[in-house]
Each structure stands twice: as C-alpha cells, then as structure tokens.
C-alpha cells in the first residue's frame, strides 16, 4: 500500500469520526476498526469460496443423505463468511 493510499484511508477514517459531534468513544473506535474488519471479512470469504468448490464436489460423492447434509453445511459456511453484515437482517 502506497503512502497516498494510507493517507486517503486515514482521511476517510477521520471524516467518519468528525461526521457527528455527539459521538461517543465507542463510535470513534467502530469507525477506526471498520476497515480492518472489512479486510478480515473479505479474506475469510475468499478462503471460504476457494475451499467450498472442491469440498462441494467431494460432498456429492457421499452416500445417501450425507451429501445433502454436507452441502448444507458448506452453504451455511458460505453465508456466515460472505454474507454482508451491514444492512437489513434476514
């Protein structure tokens, strides 16, 4: 990451903190931590998608209802790691 990118990230983080004059310390901490949370969430989603393909293929080879069970678990993992955390609840 270049110096310009780091500076832009810092400015955006500070702008988020300066938006509401009645913010508490928890709000400021959330604004600062959000980019790190998003980076971790994206990394977890990419790793989950990379693993889900081969595991989904192997799950199809399982006998009987086990195949459906394993595919359901894979789908649950994809939703847990790749579903957006902000927005309306399902």
Q: Is residue 8 part of a domain?
A: yes
Give the number of domains in the chain.
1
Asked if residue 71 is part of any domain, the answer here is: yes
* pTM for this entry: 0.56
Distance of CA 89 to the CA centre of its chain: 15
Residue 46 covered by a domain: yes
Q: What is the tens place of the pLDDT at every residue in 1-28?
A: 567 776 766 666 666 555 555 666 677 7
Nearest Cα to Cα of residue 35 among 19, 14, 21? 14
Distance CA 9, CA 33 (A): 12
Q: Judge whether 13 lies within some domain.
A: yes
Residue 87 is assigned to a structural domain of this protein:
no
90 domain-assigned: no
Helix (H, G, I), strand (E, B) or coil at 64: coil
Residue numbers of the domain that contains 63: 3-82
């Amino acid at each position: 990451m270049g110096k310009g990118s780091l500076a832009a990230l810092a400015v955006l983080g500070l702008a988020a903190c300066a938006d509401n004059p009645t913010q508490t310390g928890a709000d400021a901490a959330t604004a600062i931590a959000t980019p790190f949370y998003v980076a971790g969430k994206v990394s977890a989603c990419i790793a989950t998608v990379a693993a889900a393909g081969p595991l989904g293929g192997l799950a199809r080879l399982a006998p009987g209802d086990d195949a459906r069970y394993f595919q359901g678990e894979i789908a649950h993992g994809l939703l847990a790691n790749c579903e957006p955390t902000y927005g309306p609840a399902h």
